[in-house]
Amino acid sequence: MDVTGSGASGRSRPGPGTAPALPADVAAAVLVVDADGRIAEANGVAQRVLGHSHEELVGHDSHDLLHRDSHGHTMPRTRCRLRQALLAGRTEHGGPEWFSRGDGTSVRLCWFLVPRSPVPGKTGALVLLYGPDGAAADGAPAPLSELDRLALLAETTTRMTSTLDTDEALHRLAALTVPRLADWAVIDLLTERDEVRRALVMEYRDGALVEREDLQGPMPPVPQESPMPLSRALRGAASSLAGPATYQGPPDSGIAVEQRRLFAATDMHSAVIAPIRGLRDVLGALTLGRAKHAAAFTAADLPLLEDITRRAGLALDNARLYQRQRKVAETMQRHLLPQLPTVPGVEMRARYVPAPDASSVGGDWYDAFALSSGTHALVIGDVVGHDLDAAAGMAQVRNMLRAFAWSRPDAAASAVVSQLDEAVKHIAEVPMATMILATLGRGDDELWRLCWTNAGHPPPLLVDSDGRTRYLTDAHGILLGTGLVKPRPDAVTVLRPGTTVLLYTDGLVESPRHSIDEGLDRLSRHAAALAHRPLDSFCDVLLEQVRPVGSDDDVAMLAVRIPDRA
């Protein structure tokens, strides 16, 4: 019997001191490499997939001979994860990546490496190569071998745990199992209120995954006594087999009615259903169905499905916890931010975008409130830090500033900020902060005037209705919390009809990829182009176009516009 796969017949079996024969049940391409990455053995599938004869493979460096980058060039060894796993002697999988064929073309394959001795007393590894869609590397359908199962489980763990977005995790789970195991993937989730939602239905059609939104949506409640497979799975019972006949009798619940509808709409003749369990609760159930696959699922398929859903459950649990924590943090931050006052003759809008990290509620804030003098105070600020301490410090500073500004309505902005700085040093738990305090009011000539002082904050941007822009760089002083006592300057400017003033925090313009000057220039150019937009659109598009891609900082914005008299 030829245990190395087709294409290896006619060769003698390995003798003492040579590479061992490969397992007979491996239908994918398999290479055995030594500690230096030289190929010691290659099965017949590997020879077909890679387009090399046994003699052209064995004895050659696998990296130099086969591994390529996306441009077809030999991949640098320092960037090769497969080689790093070999040298470290660890089990790992990767891909899809490019491998060179004997005819000069390239083939895109995933790989799974398991440390294994090619020769007694020597180190090395066994490398499994398979197609990106999970099929055998040469495209031929084949039952999963033990190595195929290990590769699938390793890929499930890696791909599911590398996202904290629940919707993305569900789509990855479907892509991992279809068409590798089935034609259909159906994921039902339990909400925090124990309601059931058919969150995702995916079909493999014409070589692509197609989402069936018509089969998704709310589901009836889970019956507590029903023996039907999906109902049992959603209660956390063991996985089971199902088919159209399972749901042909009188339905015992609304879920049974929906399952009958599902089998009729999908033409599935065989399915397996397993619970998706988190650390504490049942999160839902995964149904894999076969319609075009002729072979029916058997009880032997259940352990693999349970291994997959176990890994998926842990990943979904983490994603849910992350999103719950993010929602709590964002809600806390938004509740610390005020409602904007209505100022006759002035348009005012604010925006706040939290940091991507769920715990980074941040210390950015904006504020606007009426003063007893008939003017209005405008504030933008940023307390150092990206955590709950920063958010709590922000609330302290904001509340003290409100009290000081209200009690001294006729005082210059610089005097109020100096008083705040002194208080921060003694009674607030804030390391340092930047801010701008401005007052907005009408003069005797009925024109609006902005008076401000700047404590180490990025300068306000003034945008005329015709698109001319300038930064208000006057009245710039030191930030709060330094312990230094220095005079703080004030400045004033007249706001003509059609003028927009933008106050913002540094998350809008700062990025590790470019200097602050580049960020300010980018903001100025985009604001000029948007000067004609309504204020809501001005703020939204500015955030979308100017905020650095991949920014890990929160952003607060306060925009004030003096409408054109015309």
Site of tokens 């500690």:
35
What percent of the chain stands above pLDDT 90? 43
pLDDT tens figures, 226-255: 999 999 999 998 899 999 999 888 889 999
* The domain made up of 29-140 is a member of CATH 3.40.50.720: no
Contact 272, 241 (CB under 8 A): yes
Note the CATH architecture for domain 337-561: 4-Layer Sandwich (3.60)
Cα gap 300→327, rounded to integer Å: 42
- Quote the tokens at residue 232: 């049992």
Sign of the alpha-carbon torsion through 134, 138, 140, 144: negative
Instruction: State which of 49-63, 298-312, 325-339, 495-509 shows the largest mean pLDDT.
Output: 495-509
Choosing among 3.40.50.720, 1.10.290.10, 3.10.130.10, 3.30.450.40, the CATH entry for 163-325 is 3.30.450.40
Domain 337-561 in the same topology as domain 29-140: no
Q: What is the mean pLDDT of residues 402-408?
A: 92
The answer to which of 83-97, 244-258, 537-551 has the lowest mean pLDDT is 83-97
What percent of the chain stands above pLDDT 70? 86
Contact 248, 260 (CB under 8 A): yes
Q: What is the mean pLDDT of residues 142-160?
A: 74
The answer to which of 16-25, 43-52, 190-199, 340-349 has the lowest mean pLDDT is 16-25
Q: Where are the domains of the chain?
A: 29-140, 163-325, 337-561
Q: What 3 state SS string does 354-379 have?
A: CCCCCCCCCCEEEEEEECCCCCEEEE
pLDDT category of residue 107 using cuts at 50, 70 and 90: confident
